[in-house]
Amino acid sequence: MHYFQISAHGGLSGLTYQSDFGKMNPKANGALGIAYMFYIHGIAGLKLGANVAYSGSQFKAINYHDKYRVVDVEEDKMDVYYTADEITERHHQLLLEIPFQLALRFDPITIDLGPKFSIPLLKKYREQLYGVDLCAYYPAYDVEVDKALALAAGKYLKSGIDGTIDKFPALWISLSTNVAYTIPLKSGNELGVGVYADYALKGYLSQRTRNLSLVTITDTHDGIPVERLVESVLRANHALSGKQVVPKYSYFCTGLKLTYNIVLKTKK
């Protein structure tokens, strides 16, 4: 039998990682899709489809701190250290998903299992830092500068940045599964209600080119006053420990799925 499927699903998604500095909170996920399915002897077959999906997640850290050393315009060594009461970073992905799966049918239950290839079409983040306190220390003179705007030192109640995650994977390869209960309709078509889950086994990621601390100041050789910069947690390093804030990450989503299966009549 041959089917054309229209689907909508929604649930939670997020990035999965083990970070020493914060935790991930899942956010909303949803998609609309179409698929073609055929079954051999009504039991096993293949499914090929295309979905447009949205995925969100959030990184959150409390009482974050770091320290790094720079050389100022007068060739003096300067230690820059800062604390942040709270850091939140929201990640947004708009994905083109292409599932290529084994389709199993045990009426009224259907099971789809196999790889899904997801191409991020949009990769954005929004980062907010609260209670940032930045100081500069000159070890040669034992002088601490904590309220000099020329060096971006001082207390900042809130600051943020929006940007594109340019080092996000250009392709996710996920193991995907759907399990649905199908309800026959008078028209001969079917309505399906079920659950889905995806977990990215591989993300093809370009090599990171920046190893900056989460909060930095522009080079004093370029002029004073300097500018305070904020880096995405997905690219930032923690200078004190020498670790990446988020070393490696993957992707998951799960939730409920509704399908409408149209039976395609074939000539005998």
Q: How far apart are CA 177 and CA 199, in angstroms?
A: 9
Strands (E), the chain: 2-16, 23-40, 44-71, 77-106, 109-138, 143-145, 154-164, 171-184, 190-204, 215-217, 228-230, 237-238, 243-244, 250-264
Q: What's the mean pLDDT in 176-189?
A: 94
Tens digit of each residue's pLDDT (9 = 90 or more) over 20-35: 999 999 999 999 999 9
Task: Tell me the pLDDT of the chain averaged across its residues.
Answer: 86
Q: How far apart are CA 202 and CA 173, in angstroms?
A: 5
Q: Which helix (H) or strand (E) holds 226?
A: none
Among 252, 214, 254, 232, which residue's Cα sits nearest to residue 81?
214
Asked whether 253 and 12 are in contact (CB, 8 A), the reply is yes
Dihedral of alpha carbons 53, 17, 90, 236, sign:
negative
Q: What's the mean pLDDT in 236-264?
A: 90
Dihedral of alpha carbons 243, 171, 163, 15, sign:
negative
Give residue 225's identity as a one-letter amino acid code.
P
Q: Which two tokens stand for residue 204?
A: 């093809």
Query: In angstroms, what is the C-alpha Rg of the chain?
Result: 25
Among 92, 98, 94, 58, which residue's Cα sits nearest to residue 198?
98
Determine the pLDDT at residue 206.
46
Q: What percent of the chain has pLDDT over 90?
A: 47
pTM, 2 dp: 0.83
pLDDT at 267 over 70: no
Q: How far apart are CA 107 and CA 184, in angstroms?
A: 10
Omega of the bond prior to 225 within 30 degrees of 0, cis?
yes
Q: Chain-centre distance of CA 10, in angstroms? A: 17
pLDDT at 51 over 80: yes
Q: What percent of the chain has pLDDT over 70?
A: 88
Q: How far apart are CA 171 and CA 107, in angstroms?
A: 34
Asked whether 113 and 147 are in contact (CB, 8 A), the reply is no
Query: Hey, where are the domains in the chain?
Result: 2-264
pLDDT confidence bin for 1, thresholds 50/70/90:
confident
Q: How far apart are CA 107 and CA 1, in angstroms?
A: 13
Tens digit of each residue's pLDDT (9 = 90 or more) over 52-87: 999 999 999 999 999 998 887 778 888 888 999 999
Q: How far apart are CA 10 and CA 55, in angstroms?
A: 10
pLDDT confidence bin for 223, thresholds 50/70/90:
low
Q: How far is CA 228 from CA 63, 72, 154, 220, 265, in A?
A: 19, 15, 11, 11, 64
